[in-house]
């Protein structure tokens, strides 16, 4: 039996499938410090903070050392403590510290470990030049001066989200984490999901704050400021104040926002109910005609941007419904000015969302009219918590209050939008209900949970409907490839960018790990159960909206106000890159797109083969090869431009044919003109 144990600081710890020594040590009740270790990502082993002494082996990084029976581990020897402090000092020396004004102040792991390990002085100077802050996008701020090169954001973006907009560049002392070619996040294929910020241990990646903009509007006597609160916020905002009951926290949040100065407080769950009506009706119509299937949900702006960039062939399969946030903005800007007796330009609509991509969504040109946005400002849960703190409100002591009507009333179907599977379940509740009859078995447990992909079959009107629920964009990419190849076939697919859905959005409070998301998920369904109504069609105020304004779901009036369209999207902007030396002169100009869609279809191999064949055939000096980033022809990639004309589907296996039919005639023409 002794062989089943590891000895950690004199305590026997039984092995039970732990994947590394670090997990065994934490099982022993020892919180060994780490920066680069994230239990949901691959092991990187760079920071060396988790180093320990293993008998017979010396110093070992525990995150990358598998446990073996009989190991004797000492975690806090004089040597390990000295090494940890030294490593921390070096990190602090390379870190531009302005802790008092940093958005991660009190939530920074570097800050907390410096206090925990008793590091009072840093003996090394910071020789790094201050680099510009990347804050040109709507959602995130990237401060490279605060990066400690832990690689968590790199692995999160690659492994969990399957995008990879961040990576290590440079060598030695010049190593940095950066988007491709030193671009800003707004210039590359970032979808603004914010998952990089959820795992960043310092202030290198943070939410872009719009708190001051909201305060200025509240202080403006000409403005009427209304706010909508998303379902996933209700189970997260109270975490910062020790109130974990979702409905109680929502009541206290409503009261706090009124004290802050918001004129009306509404619930995005109301327009989630409206979204269910519109999207459910749209799906049943598509199912009847067999067109544009599978239908993909369009509530998640990170997913929508991902589809526009990486899978433009599925853009027409997206539901045309706006997200609940944008539906609320459309309704508010059209109908509230009259009700609240305010000029339209003086009505400010603020959203409180769990999601950083919602900031990007609200700024999309599709969601503004005559220069006036439907949603003026998006705050994350983190920002609302900050505003409550700035106002000096003692959250736990505030009596709960109810939201304003009519947009403050919701059913349980609207609330569950905040968890992965919630949109699909809301549509299923609608589709399986019968007019005039309550749906007593309203819960569909098969679509719930934090699994990356869930598949369900249900019978609607005697027909089997295949449904998939996916969260995390790497899982989404894998699912889409199966759909493209014909391996999988579905009728409706719910997609959420973040693991667990909106409960794990990039703007949620720290910590934001899977354990916290599990707790928030359970709280979401608890909130659903205590509601009087659980089906979107039973919301009396939604029925009133149709009676007074929209007539029926998917009516022309509903389409004008609540629906939108999507498009192919450029992923990387900027200059063309020369891939060979020399001047163009009378050369044939050949540009190969290495943007995301083309690259994933083999454009790099196409370019390499074009150059190799040109070299073999002796006319490489007659061609000016360049790499470009987008010809807005994504569904026909790889794309190659020859003398200004774009040619699609130039895959590596078609390069010989392409050279003979397109490039060589262009060379002959250039020679003739010369």
- Catalytic residue numbers read 279, 282, 299, 319, 358, 361, 366, 502
Which single residue is written with the structure tokens 């990187």? 44
User: Angle 246-260/514-529 helices, nearest 10 degrees?
Assistant: 90
Q: Closest Cα to residue 256, out of 83, 391, 435?
A: 391
Q: Which residues contact 78 (CB under 8 A, 6 or more apart)?
A: none
Give the Cα separation of 272 and 228 in Å (integer).
Answer: 12
C-alpha 302/C-alpha 476 separation (Å) is 12
Q: Which of 399, 468, 387 is nearest to 427 (CA)?
A: 468
Residue 49, SS3 per DSSP:
coil
Note whether 148 and 35 are within 8 A (CB): yes
Q: Where does residue 434 rank: exposed (0-12), middle (13-18), buried (19+ CB within 10 A)?
A: exposed
Token code pair at residue 229: 């609160």
DSSP annotation of 660: I
Q: Indicate the burial class of 160 (C-beta count within 10 angstroms; 0-12, 13-18, 19 or more).
A: buried
The candidate with the shortest Cα–Cα distance to 520, out of 532, 508, 529, 531, is: 508
The partner residues of 86 in beta bridges, in order of sequence, read none
Q: What are phi and psi of 578, to 5 degrees?
A: -75, 135
Q: Distance between CA atoms of 321 and 563, rounded to whole angstroms?
A: 4
Non-local CB neighbours of 307 within 8 Å, separated by 6+ positions: 296, 314, 315, 318, 566
Antiparallel, parallel or unpaired: β 492-496 and 463-471: parallel
How far apart (Å, rounded) are the C-alpha atoms in residues 148 and 90? Answer: 10
Tell me the torsion sign for CA atoms 342, 346, 349, 350.
negative
Burial letters for 17-34: b for 16+ Cβ neighbours within 10 Å, e otherwise?
ebebbbbbbbbbebebbb
Q: Are 497 and 306 in contact (CB under 8 A)?
A: yes
Torsion, Cα of 489, 493, 495, 500 (10° steps) = -100
With H, G, I as helix, E, B as strand and everything else as coil, classify residue 14. Answer: strand
**Dihedral angle sign, alpha carbons of residues 573, 579, 584, 587:** negative
Token pair, residue 613, equals 């064949």
DSSP state letters, 293-354? -SEEP---HHHHHHHHHH-GGGGGGB--BPPHHHHHHHHHHHHHHHHHT--GGGEEEEEEES
**321 close to 273: Cβ distance less than 8 angstroms:** no
Taking alpha carbons only, the member of 374, 664, 412 closest to residue 523 is 412
Strands of 562-651 (E only): list them: 577-578, 588-593, 623-628, 640-642, 645-647
SS3 612: helix
Which structure tokens are listed for 518?
A: 């599990």
| Contact status, residue 88 vs residue 94, Cβ threshold 8 Å | no
* Residue 636: strand, helix, or coil: helix
């Amino acid at each position: 039996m002794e062989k089943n144990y590891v000895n950690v600081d004199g305590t026997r710890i039984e092995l039970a499938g732990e994947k590394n020594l670090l997990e065994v040590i934490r099982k022993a009740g020892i919180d060994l410090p780490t920066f680069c270790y994230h239990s949901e990502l691959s092991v990187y082993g760079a920071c060396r903070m988790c180093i320990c002494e293993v008998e017979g082996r010396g110093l070992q990084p525990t995150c990358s050392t598998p446990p073996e029976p009989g190991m004797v581990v000492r975690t806090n020897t004089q040597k390990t403590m000295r090494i940890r402090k030294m490593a921390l000092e070096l990190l602090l020396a390379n870190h531009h510290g302005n802790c008092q004004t940093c958005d991660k102040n009190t939530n920074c792991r570097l800050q907390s470990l410096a206090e925990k390990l008793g590091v009072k002085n840093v003996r090394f100077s910071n020789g790094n030049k201050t680099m510009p802050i990347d804050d040109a996008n709507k959602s995130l701020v990237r401060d490279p001066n605060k990066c400690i090169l832990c690689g968590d954001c790199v692995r999160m973006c690659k492994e969990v989200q399957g995008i990879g907009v961040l990576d290590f560049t440079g060598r030695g002392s010049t190593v940095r984490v950066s988007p491709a070619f030193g671009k800003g996040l707004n210039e590359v294929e970032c979808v603004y999901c914010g998952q990089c910020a959820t795992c960043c241990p310092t202030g290198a990646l943070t939410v872009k704050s719009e708190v001051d903009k909201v305060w200025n509007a509240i202080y403006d006597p000409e403005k009427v400021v209304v706010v909508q609160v998303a379902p996933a916020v209700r189970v997260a905002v109270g975490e910062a104040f020790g109130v974990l009951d979702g409905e109680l926290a929502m009541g206290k949040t409503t009261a706090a926002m009124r004290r802050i100065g918001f004129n009306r407080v509404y619930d995005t769950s109301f327009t989630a109910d409206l979204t269910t009506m519109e999207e459910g009706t749209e799906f049943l119509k598509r199912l009847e005609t067999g067109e544009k299937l599978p239908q993909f949900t369009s509530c998640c702006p990170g997913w929508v941007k991902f589809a526009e960039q990486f899978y433009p062939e599925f853009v027409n399969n997206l539901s045309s419904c706006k997200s609940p946030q944008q539906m609320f903005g459309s309704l508010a800007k059209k109908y509230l000015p009259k009700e609240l007796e305010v000029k339209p330009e003086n009505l400010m609509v603020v959203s409180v969302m769990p999601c950083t991509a919602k900031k990007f969504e609200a700024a999309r040109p599709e969601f503004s009219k005559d220069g006036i946005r439907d949603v003026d400002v998006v705050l994350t849960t983190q920002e609302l918590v900050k505003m409550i703190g700035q106002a000096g409100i003692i959250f736990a002591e505030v009596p709960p209050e109810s939201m304003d009507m009519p947009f403050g009333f919701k059913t349980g179907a609207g609330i569950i939008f905040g968890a992965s599977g919630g949109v699909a379940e809301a549509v299923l509740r609608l589709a399986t209900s019968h007019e005039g009859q309550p749906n007593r078995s309203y819960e569909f447990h098969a679509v719930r949970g934090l699994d990356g992909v869930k598949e369900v079959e249900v019978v609607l009107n005697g027909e089997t409907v295949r449904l998939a629920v996916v969260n995390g964009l790497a899982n989404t990419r894998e699912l889409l490839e199966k759909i493209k190849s014909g391996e999988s076939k579905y009728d409706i697919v719910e997609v959420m960018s973040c693991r667990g859905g909106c409960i794990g959005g990039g703007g949620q409070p720290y910590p934001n790990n899977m354990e916290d998301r599990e707790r928030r998920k359970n709280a979401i369904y608890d909130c659903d159960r205590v509601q009087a109504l659980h089906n979107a069609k039973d919301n009396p105020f939604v029925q009133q909206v149709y009676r007074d304004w929209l007539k029926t779901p998917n009516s022309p009036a509903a389409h004008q106000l609540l629906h939108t369209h999507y498009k192919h999207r450029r992923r990387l902007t900027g200059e063309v890159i020369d891939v060979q030396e020399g001047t163009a002169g009378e050369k044939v100009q050949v540009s190969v797109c290495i943007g995301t869609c083309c690259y994933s279809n083999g454009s790099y191999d196409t370019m390499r083969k074009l150059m190799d064949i040109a070299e073999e055939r002796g006319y490489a000096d007659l061609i000016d090869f360049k790499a470009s980033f987008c010809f807005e022809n994504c569904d026909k990639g790889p794309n190659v431009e020859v003398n200004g004309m774009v040619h699609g589907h130039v895959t590596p296996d078609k390069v010989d044919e392409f050279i003979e039919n397109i490039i060589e005639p262009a060379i002959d023409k250039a020679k003739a003109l010369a």
